[in-house]
Structure 1
Amino acid sequence: MELASANWREWYRCRHQQECFKSGTPYEEYVSTVLSRFHSDFMNPAPTGTYGDGGCDGIAEAGTIAYACYGQRPGRKAEDELAEKIGKDFKRAFQEWPVFHTWRFVTNAPFGPKATKVMVGLQQTHHADPVRPLKIVHFNTDRLWSDIVGKLSADTLDELFPGVPGAANVELHDLIPLLDSLGSTAVTPNLGDSIRPVPPNKMSFNNLPESSRLEFNSGRLLAPRIDAWYASASDPGLYDTHGARFRALYQGVLAVTTDPGEVLERLYVALAGANPRMDRTRANATYAVVSYFFDSCHIFEEPPGATPSGEEVTRALAN
């Protein structure tokens, strides 16, 4: 399979980032899966009895590359635990696997001063060792993409992240004029408080990935222009029509996948076509429209007891 455009690789990168937002074991399982696709001889030793896993979360290239992996655990003393993990994993792997010359520590946890000092200390001790020189490398989310995941073939990426959007036709074609208007250089009108506050826990309640939250927050800056567009529409029921269609489309997507990130990708494609991120302006317009209907309760679910923000939309359009 060939990627239709560079946009698809960006879509896969977004999916990679979503996986890297996971904590603990799910993140570590993702890393192991990725490495097994990258290295033809990758093995992740299963813990056995008193031997454990030998301080190794993966060995590859005939034993010359050893991996350790750590998914951050919320609610713990992350920096202390991370620093301790680096030191212990390296010491055990160094003793148990005498043939590797490259040690890679893969983590989604932020490196603070303690963790950095431990890593630098290991590098200074072992890089120029006359008997067994070692290359010791920290792999964060970006490096895991650039050095490993991003180098995989399109077929392998599709295997890792099935369901790449490939819609041939825009399903919400009558919203194209709205996207076009948001892509213009028109000044955003001042509509008072028409930027509606979504219930603060709605994104968490629906488990939206951090990358999608950033997209939504960017898109919400265009909410006053969307209000103005609907307010000036010749059809006074256009907003309700679009809202109902968004809700129906959302329900249809849920029949295919319940993964929040995947749901949003399919909504983006339904709105803007097969390459919603090809053009930055178009992408921002797409985020704006989808976040608009998210905030107005048409897609995704309201937390229990939340005040429907759709009422605020109706008030804003009526003013």
Structure 2
Amino acid sequence: MNGLNFLEKMYVKALFRDRMADLHGSAFESFFQNVMSLSHDDFVPVRTHGNIGDLSADGLSLHSGKLYACYGPEVFDAKKVEEKFASDLEGAMSKRGGEFTTFVFVHNDTRGLHPKVASLLAQARRDHVPLLFEPLSPSQLRQKVLRLPRGEVEDLFGAEIPVHDVAYGIGLADVKPLLDHLVEKRTPANRQHRPPNLLQVSDQKMEYNRLSEDERETLRLAMMHTYLLDDYYDNVADVTARDDAADGFRAYYQELAEVCTTPDQIVYELGHYVLGNLRADRARERALDVVLAYFFETCDIFDAPPPGWAPALREASMS
């Protein structure tokens, strides 16, 4: 079965977000169990049965030794979550001792892990060595969904994914005047006007984000013309134009980072964001490279390395 393509992933992300807004209590538990059953061959959903209940588990992963406990309230209540966590943990340890090595607290809070839950997990790990504890968030559940074959995703949501390839021109209309400016000004005659202190694209940032050598070379060459963007934004009437464009790039990059499998694919899809998916003329494609180099170097797209980062540190941590 075929996996989701990029456009389908973007559609499913929105579908997942809408579905999560209505998933509470047993509905959230059932959805979680369905996703896990499709994602992991060793996952066993635990349903409530008669007077024995679910024996303090909503699912078990047999190979990894993980026990899952779901908490999906409609409104978060710190006291109730603490009581639920304590009850599930106590029940799991007394009724399923020896069946698991990791206790996974599954929640439906799309805003992220509540500080109270983080504290509960940390305290439980200290109190119950060598048992491990970890959360499973909606964003982690979404990633499992995005890795499923298209047919299974459609079965999960009970609907066809209505995404078809379409041809479209300029993707980001607000950038069209900027592209026109770059096409006009990016000429050999203007090379003499380049500032002497022209910035170079960061090799460290390109290494940190694992860009291919082809993409690195493209960014290095395009960086020689990024001063033209400063010229453009310095002369537009709308003083917020640059910040608005940067915000758009940053938000779209963050969406791409969640669904793309390689850094080069992110660069490719950012090109669609600016130009659309129709084949552009070479002058406009070169202008696009300049735009991407500019927003790459100003840290609006891709992540900056943390202070003190070096390639050797990354390789050491992976060994």
What TM-score does the superposition give when structure 1 sets the normalisation length?
A: 0.49
